[in-house]
Amino acid sequence: MPSSTAPPGITRNALWLPILAGLCASLVSIGLARFAYTPLIPSLIEAHWFSASDVVFLGAANLVGYLIGALIGHPLARRTSNKTVLRLMMLAVTLAFFACAFPLSVSWFFGWRLLSGIAGGAIMVLVAATVLPHVPASRKGLASGAIFLGLGLGIAGSGTIVPPLLSLGLQQTWLGLGLLALVLTAVSWFGWPSSAPPATASTPVKAPSTSMNPSVYLLFAQYALMAAGLVPAMVFLVDYVARGLGAGQHVGALIWVMYGLGAIVGPVSYGFLADQLGAKPGIRLVLAVQAIAIGLLSISSSFAALALLAVIIGSFPPGIVPLALARVHELIPEHHQQQVAWSRATVSFATVQALSGFAYSALFNASGGHHGLMFVIAAGAFVCALLLELAVRLITPSYAGASPFAKTSAH
């Protein structure tokens, strides 16, 4: 298929509609539902809505929900349709925002934060599978970057939209976020593709083989290590600057805005990287850069250095998603098997991310609040992800050229 030709089922001029819908979905379900919570933490404690320990516990609810959503996303879609589940999940997040404006109890708040996480996980495994089959092959990396740009916009928005809303009051902030989510849900409502993914005669849908070559498992393991590596900066960056370095809350907020700027640039630039270099060398490059950046963060104290590192590090959490997805598409040509592999990759990411959130918090408390230790461990996770590929290559030299769902006897 020529790169300038849109796939069957959707006109070329209308390609932006499903991409916009995907962007809205990632913005609402993860960008806002997860990252807007971070700048609300001090206010939740100061307003005596919840104790400090309860606030941390409630923050983990979204990560646990994300894992559940990643597991149930496809089963839900099989019973209805991708489009129906995506719409329902966006409505669920919107409802959760409105419900969180009323702190009736810890269990009430936990339930709604859990639901918003479930919606985020389900959307993450379904949104690309719903939109990308209708995008020309040569533009899939850039398109997936545009879809997951919503994650970056949510991170940036958490540093720009939430503070003005907080000046109106904590309850008004939750209601404002709910209203924004409702508007974005409405914008995306009719943008989802109504046609099934275009099928080809040469690649009939079949049950996924249980025998995958090591390159697929390598991706799952690397993606899980990426989750372990991105958590410390995502959780501790502002506290490191404000309290660890003694720079104060204002400087911490400025660094978080720079982190958000990187998060906006990340998805599209990483998707472009996948289109130009290929996903495999792209993953190597960003892992090396992130390992260096997060390592330098542990020994940096000047504002200029912190700001630059925050931009680089901030590009990673939303940016690695389209890059990993592009790797799935490189390894697996058949659409249904791509969905299966992406679901497994998302589950591995979500599992390690949730466990890491608790583990880092426990280690942080046990170390007496040693931020640098957290960042060093994160750098180690990125280095391990790089070394895994070398290890697999040494153990299984044929892994790079194997068909990812091929029979083991083929090699």
Q: Tens-digit pLDDT profile for the chain (411 aa)?
A: 344 444 444 455 467 888 888 888 988 888 888 888 877 777 787 777 877 667 777 777 888 888 899 888 888 888 988 888 999 999 999 999 999 999 888 889 889 999 999 999 898 888 877 887 777 766 766 777 777 788 788 888 877 788 788 888 889 999 999 999 999 999 989 888 865 554 443 344 444 443 456 778 888 899 999 999 988 888 788 778 877 888 876 787 788 889 888 988 887 888 888 888 888 888 999 999 999 999 999 888 889 999 999 999 999 888 888 888 888 888 887 777 877 888 788 888 888 888 887 788 778 878 887 888 989 999 999 999 999 888 877 776 555 444 444 433 333
Closest-CA residue to 145 (of 36, 271, 332, 238): 271
pLDDT for 95 equals 95
pLDDT for 196 equals 52
pLDDT for 159 equals 74
pLDDT for 324 equals 87
C-beta of residue 286 within 8 angstroms of C-beta of residue 270: yes
pLDDT for 226 equals 92
Whole-angstrom CA distances from 54 to 106, 109, 140, 391 are 7, 10, 41, 42
pLDDT for 19 equals 82
Which residues have CB under 8 Å from 276's CB, separation 6+?
none
Q: Which two three-digit tokens encode residue 307? A: 């700001």
pLDDT for 73 equals 86
Closest-CA residue to 307 (of 264, 268, 270, 260): 260
Which residues have CB under 8 Å from 70's CB, separation 6+?
121, 122, 124, 125, 343, 346, 347, 349, 350
C-beta of residue 189 within 8 angstroms of C-beta of residue 87: yes
In percent, the amount of the chain with pLDDT more than 90 equals 21
Q: Which two three-digit tokens encode residue 55? A: 């606030």
What are the structural domain ranges in the chain? 10-190, 211-399
Whole-angstrom CA distances from 159 to 59, 144, 166, 249 are 17, 24, 11, 12
Q: Do domains 10-190 and 211-399 have the same CATH topology?
A: yes
C-beta of residue 101 within 8 angstroms of C-beta of residue 174: yes
CATH of the domain spanning 10-190, picked from 2.170.190.11, 1.20.1250.20, 1.10.10.10, 3.40.50.300: 1.20.1250.20
Which residues have CB under 8 Å from 130's CB, separation 6+?
18, 22, 82, 83, 86, 192, 193
Question: Does domain 211-399 bear CATH number 1.20.1250.20?
Answer: yes
